[in-house]
Amino acid sequence: MGMMRYDYDLYVIGAGSGGVRAARMSAASGAATAVAESGPLGGTCVNAGCVPKKLMVYASEFASSFEDSRGFGWTVGETRFDWSTLIANKDREIERLNGVYRGLLEGSGVEVHHGRARITGRHTVEVDGTSHTAKHILIATGGRPFKVPIPGADLGITSDEIFHLDTLPRRILITGGGYIAVEFAGIFNGLGSQVTLNYRGPLFLRGFDDDVRSSLAEAMAGRGIRLLFDTLIDRIEDSGNGLRATTNHGDTIEIDVALCATGRVPNSSGLGLEDIGVAQTPRGAVVVDEFSQTTVPGIYAIGDVTDRMALTPVAIGEAMALVQTLIHGTPTAMDYTNVPSAVFSQPQIGTVGLTESEAVAEGRNVSIFRSKFRPMLNTLSGRDEQTMMKLVVDRATDRVLGVHMVGPDAGEIIQGMAVALKCGATKERFDATVGIHPTAAEEFVTMREPVK
Judged on CB neighbours under 10 Å (0-12, 13-18, 19+), 313 is middle
Q: Any idea what the Cα angle at residue 145 is, between residues 141 and 151, rounded to 5°?
A: 140
Host H or E run for residue 431: helix 427-432
Residue 400 contacts residue 427 (beta carbons within 8 Å): yes
Which residues, 6+ apart, have CB-to-CB distance to 321 below 8 Å? Answer: 291, 292, 332, 333, 334
Which residues, 6+ apart, have CB-to-CB distance to 428 below 8 Å? Answer: 398
Within 10 A of 108 (CB to CB), how many other CB atoms are there? 16
Residue 346 contacts residue 191 (beta carbons within 8 Å): no
Judged on CB neighbours under 10 Å (0-12, 13-18, 19+), 330 is exposed
Query: Among candidates 118, 96, 106, which has minimal Cα distance to 33?
Result: 106
Is the torsion defined by CA of 186, 244, 161, 271 positive or negative?
Answer: positive
- Cα distance from N-terminal residue to C-terminal residue, the chain: 73
By annotation, the residues acting in catalysis are 437
